């Protein structure tokens, strides 16, 4: 089934695949996807930079409550002095 082309107004099959779906190049979505990716990644990536400037390390650990301070000391003891190092359970 052929329909008039929305670009040139003539009736032909060049712009259509199956049942009036317009053929578009798949990479036309890349600029929009890139903008969305940067907009979603910016707060997460900027948190490391801001924490490094304000707090002095790149992590958001706070030591306001007793439980947080105990967890910090536990991580420091288990990791051999570096509380931000990930220690495996083996």
Q: Read off the DSSP letter of residue 29.
A: G
Please report the pLDDT score of residue 29 as a whole number: 86
Give whole-number Cα distances, 53 to 32, 40, 50, 56, 72, in Å: 32, 22, 5, 6, 21
What is the rounded distance in angstroms from the CA atom of residue 70 to the CA atom of residue 78? 12
Do 20 and 45 reside in the same domain of the chain? yes
Instruction: Give, for 62, the enclosing helix (H) or strand (E).
Output: none
Residue found by looking up tokens 């306001």 in the block:
64
Do 43 and 87 reside in the same domain of the chain? no
Do 45 and 13 reside in the same domain of the chain? yes
Owning domain of residue 6: 1-56
pLDDT digit string (tens) for the chain, length 90 residues:
555 666 666 665 554 444 455 556 777 888 999 999 999 999 888 888 888 888 777 777 777 889 988 988 888 888 888 777 777 765
What is the rounded distance in angstroms from the CA atom of residue 34 to the CA atom of residue 29? 9
Answer yes or no: are the C-beta atoms of 87 and 81 closer than 8 Å: no
Do 35 and 3 reside in the same domain of the chain? yes
Task: Please give the tally of structural domains in the chain.
Answer: 2
């Amino acid at each position: 089934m052929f329909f008039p082309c929305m670009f040139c107004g003539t009736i032909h099959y060049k712009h259509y695949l199956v049942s009036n779906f317009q053929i578009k190049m798949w990479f036309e979505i890349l600029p929009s996807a890139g903008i969305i990716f940067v907009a979603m990644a910016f707060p997460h990536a900027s948190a490391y930079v801001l924490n490094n400037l304000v707090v002095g390390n790149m992590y958001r650990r706070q030591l306001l409550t007793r439980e947080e301070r105990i967890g910090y000391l536990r991580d420091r003891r288990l990791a051999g002095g570096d509380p931000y190092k990930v220690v495996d359970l083996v």
